Amino acid sequence: MTITLHGYTYSVYSRIPRMVCHEKGIAFDWREVDPFDDATPESYGELHPFRRVPVLQHDGFTLYETGAISRYLDEAFPGPSLQPADIGQRARMAQIISIVDAYVYWPLVRQVFSHRVFRPKFGDSWDEDTIAAGLETSKVVLAALESLVSEHHHIISPEVSLADFHLATMIDYFAMADEGATMLAQYEKSSAWWANMRLRDSVTATAPL
């Protein structure tokens, strides 16, 4: 049985299946692919036609799209289940994952984190207008998440679920920007959720920065 994850060290999306593998005790081979590097071989397009990361390969089965990958890992392997049995909570989990993909990734990660933290760290130029636009959108996103966070330590249920990992990687990066940390602190339930999640082994063990 061979499991290979093609991903990029600093990628929020690549970190999600790494967290899931950590939670479930799944060993895998890692292939580093920088989707932003023009030198990434043309042949990578055969694995991922949109040339993004991550991609999972398991015994000849190839899968891209992180939500699908983490569900597959959860269902194909033993270990604790990371999807709630309750149908309403499972729907909530799917909703949060969808919100993260559609509304969280771009403003919190690509606009705020990339321009305030990542680009300066690696000597690239950044754009204050992009950060300001990202922060403006982030208010709407965080308010929406705040209204969905459960009273428990985890985002939708007493047990941790795939929604927690999908969101954790993005909030981790967002909170590395001073403005991001300040904004997150204004949302009580989300802050309490992150204060708990950030200590989890799978989160600390996969931290890229």
Ligand X SMILES: N[C@@H](CCC(=O)N[C@@H](CS)C(=O)NCC(=O)O)C(=O)O
Binding residues for ligand X, rule: CB under 6 A, are: 11-13, 35-36, 52-53, 65-67, 101
- Please give the residue whose beta carbon sits closest to ligand X in the complex: 52
Q: How many CB atoms lie within 10 A of CB 41?
A: 8
To ligand X, the closest distance from the beta carbon of 54 in angstroms equals: 6
- C-beta closer to ligand X: residue 73 or 187: 73
What are the residues facing 31 on neighbouring strands? 6
* Minimal distance, residue 135 CB to ligand X, in Å: 20
Least separation in angstroms between CB 67 and ligand X: 6
- Amino acid symbol at 166: H
Smaller CB distance to ligand X: residue 101 or 179? 101
Q: Indicate the residue among 67 and 180 with the shorter CB distance to ligand X.
A: 67
Place of tokens 């949060």: 96
Could you tell me the smallest distance in angstroms from the CB atom of residue 192 to ligand X? Answer: 26
Query: Torsion-angle region of residue 37: left (phi > 0), alpha (psi -120 to 50) or beta?
Result: beta
> Which residue lies nearer to ligand X by CB, 66 or 157?
66
Q: How far is the CB of 99 from ligand X (least distance, A)?
A: 13
What is the H or E stretch that residue 135 is in? helix 128-148
Q: Which residue has the tokens 């909703």?
A: 95
| Nearer to ligand X among residue 101 and residue 146 (C-beta) | 101
Looking at 25-117, which runs of residues are DSSP E strands?
A: 29-32, 55-58, 61-64
Amino acid present at 128: E
**Rounded (to 5) percent helix, strand, coil in the chain:** 55, 10, 35
Taking the C-alpha atoms of residue 90 and residue 84, their distance in angstroms, rounded to an integer, is 5
**Closest CB 1 distance from ligand X, rounded Å:** 23
CB closer to ligand X, 44 vs 159: 44
Q: What is the 3-state secondary structure (H, E, C) of 1-20?
A: CCEEEEECCCCHHHHHHHHH
